[in-house]
Structure 1
């Protein structure tokens, strides 16, 4: 009994020592600014806006143990700017779904058609398949490089833009559900449509705020909907860097926000569990449950070798990133306008990790 009491008191003391943004992020008391010079030099190199070449960072925010240790912006972006997150939206959608699951509104094994009737044409597709980007539906996720053949361009900008989930549900099958990873913004928008049935149409419009943003103190969020009223869960969430870091802190602390367990711990475990039915691409993270992991696929190597294996991230088009590094209690938010392949996740993380340790590699 005495041991249990001691452990309880120790746990209570540890929780009381945690730092939270109340209401905003506190600054670390001591910062070795010289240690961050290499981060600054890489992330904010002289900017080529005419040709849109090179590393073009708009915002970089680093939080360690709940305190700001580095923050810099390139005009016109500022600490107050709700920046387009692109596909970071997908991971925030997964976090929102985690709250819905905590409310016992669905199970991972449920067929998607239970919540989104147009998916009755694909009755074997489960919610967990969508969360692994493994619906099996035929999809081409390409923007600039193959726009005429791009499913995502058609969904976001042309014939699918009025009802993005319906456009996706009408795609033909290309593989058995759950058997092949095929990155698809359409899968994410079907999830966003299914959420409407889970929570009810009356609550759906306000649900991201009531369930997630307001409890976390997020005030800058703007989330676009298509003409059918469905959240564009794949792409069109805007948020300031400081607010996005709150999502990172929630995930870093296993779904707990102060004393409230907003997400079940096993949901965060699911997000951070490698989906092995994928093909590794050099430098790119590997899929978890609608988050990206620094874990190697079988027979492969760690995508970001200079970052701990437990690092995970939400990633978006043109260089958007929310990295979470549990080993170092770090959260890194990067907003950007990269238009070529010069930016490397591993290089930024290597420099951030060196800087936060005082410049030691």
Structure 2
């Protein structure tokens, strides 16, 4: 007797479902891509579009084409809506996997998943901070910067957008790609980690506390995490297991694109100790957000954190319009989300070059400057300090360093897509590069070695 289609379905349906389940059980990466991938892509799109349009003042289509699509090709299946009236951005894929971000004039944009966040900024008294004098152009250096920008035409994946060289406290060369200028706001990505470290150093000094203390989280009191100190977190050597592979569904993407309170997620998701504190260097954005959340709690919330950052760091440094963005809970995303102009990023570098002192004001304690650029023992090439990257080299061989043609005293704030604030004390130099490198890394070693040689 022939078997009917319905009879076939009775056998094939369960078998197909079982095969699909077996496939995903055997391939958890594929499952994570299916479950988390679309929302990660749309979350990234919503955040970049919101900040790109409302903070940086760029055209939405340009942000989508130049930032979102280059970050992930599957964003081509996403569509976006910019609501100028409510100042919100919505991104979805055929009406599914929707992600939203909301703009606030004082706080920038926050991705949210429940209720749209609403924050109020306190009144801040303006200060006269460090200001650049007239640019004294070094034509040789200017030529190098111009040639780097010109590379964009033959190497579009490098996409350098802004470059500045400052020597002995004066800008000697400055270059921008078409569409960008001195007023353009640039995303920090992980350069924000160095800002978070600076704020923590200022707070600890003002409150007479040091880094050799546990953060005191209730979630950590009854297990091995109670032995972790602030020092370990600042050195990226806490021993916490936090997956930062940036594959959909890992800890980092879940934190950045699924959680309304990123600091809380980071300190609870990182529940497992994989090494004794201080023994293993593991770079982690979750670690920085744990620190930022700790400072948020110590300061007493969003408004006080905002005031502290403005009055203690940004304004004294001559940075009048930094946009340090919080998550939907109001806790600042200390790992990733800060917008400033290229000249303001250069001021941040100048602050460290001058050992925390600008205009005769000690903004960052000198001992903190020394701390952030002291290599940790756990970093094999002497490449990390206190939320800054270093070029010190291995303890037994300084030639084993990140940038072989650059000085060993170089240290830098560094972010995704090639955001760099490079400080070289021995040459009295600050060099800033901002852009959107994808698929090919910006040649920091080669380009900056040419600058040093020309000087």
Where do 1:239-278 residues align within 5 Å? Answer: 239-278=340-379
The offset of 1:326, in angstroms, is 0.7
Q: Which runs of 5+ in 2 are unaligned?
A: 1-127
1:313–1:322 CA contact under 8 A, matched in 2: yes
The offset of 1:324, in angstroms, is 0.5
* DSSP-derived class of the 1:266 partner: helix
The offset of 1:35, in angstroms, is 4.6
Q: Which residue of 1 aligns with 2:409?
A: 310
Answering whether residue 153 of structure 2 is matched by residue 47 of structure 1, we say yes
Q: Deviations over 1:199-243 (max 9, x none)?
A: 333622321101111111211211111122111000001111111
Answering whether residue 246 of structure 2 is matched by residue 162 of structure 1, we say no
Q: Runs of 4 or more off by more than 4 Å in structure 1?
A: none
1:105–1:199 CA contact under 8 A, matched in 2: no
Task: Indicate which of 280, 298, 311 corresponds to 1:198.
Answer: 298
Provide closer, same or farther for how the CA distance between residues 313 and 350 of structure 1 changes in structure 2, counting only shifts above 3 A: same
Output the CA distance in 2 between the equivalents of 1:206 and 1:213.
10
Q: Which residue of 2 aligns with 1:24?
A: 131
Task: Indicate which of 215, 234, 240 corresponds to 1:137.
Answer: 240
> What TM-score comes out, normalization by structure 2 length?
0.67
User: Across the two proteins, how many residue pairs are aligned to each other?
Assistant: 321
Output the CA distance in 2 between the equivalents of 1:237 and 1:209.
13
Q: Which residue of 2 aligns with 1:223?
A: 324
Where do 1:66-85 residues align within 5 Å? Answer: 66-85=169-188
* DSSP-derived class of the 1:47 partner: helix
Q: Which moved more, 1:238-247 or 1:300-309?
A: 300-309
Give the aligned CA root-mean-square deviation in angstroms: 2.1
Q: Which residue of 1 aligns with 2:119?
A: none
Output the CA distance in 1 between the equivalents of 2:448 and 2:289.
30
Q: Which residue of 1 aligns with 2:199?
A: 96
Output the CA distance in 2 between the equivalents of 1:68 and 1:190.
36
The offset of 1:187, in angstroms, is 0.5
Q: Deviations over 1:170-211 (max 9, x none)?
A: 222222222111000000001101112333336223211011
The offset of 1:142, in angstroms, is 2.6
Q: Which moved more, 1:62-71 or 1:32-41?
A: 32-41
Q: Which residue of 2 aligns with 1:339?
A: 438
* DSSP-derived class of the 1:205 partner: helix
Answering whether residue 231 of structure 2 is matched by residue 128 of structure 1, we say yes
The offset of 1:162, in angstroms, is 1.1
The offset of 1:327, in angstroms, is 1.0
Provide closer, same or farther for how the CA distance between residues 35 and 233 of structure 1 changes in structure 2, counting only shifts above 3 A: closer
Output the CA distance in 1 between the equivalents of 2:321 and 2:395.
40
> What TM-score comes out, normalization by structure 1 length?
0.83
1:140–1:149 CA contact under 8 A, matched in 2: no
Answering whether residue 160 of structure 2 is matched by residue 57 of structure 1, we say yes
Q: Which runs of 5+ in 1 are unaligned?
A: 1-20
Structure (1 or 2) with the larger CA radius of gyration:
2
Larger fraction in helix: 2
Q: Which moved more, 1:222-231 or 1:309-318?
A: 222-231
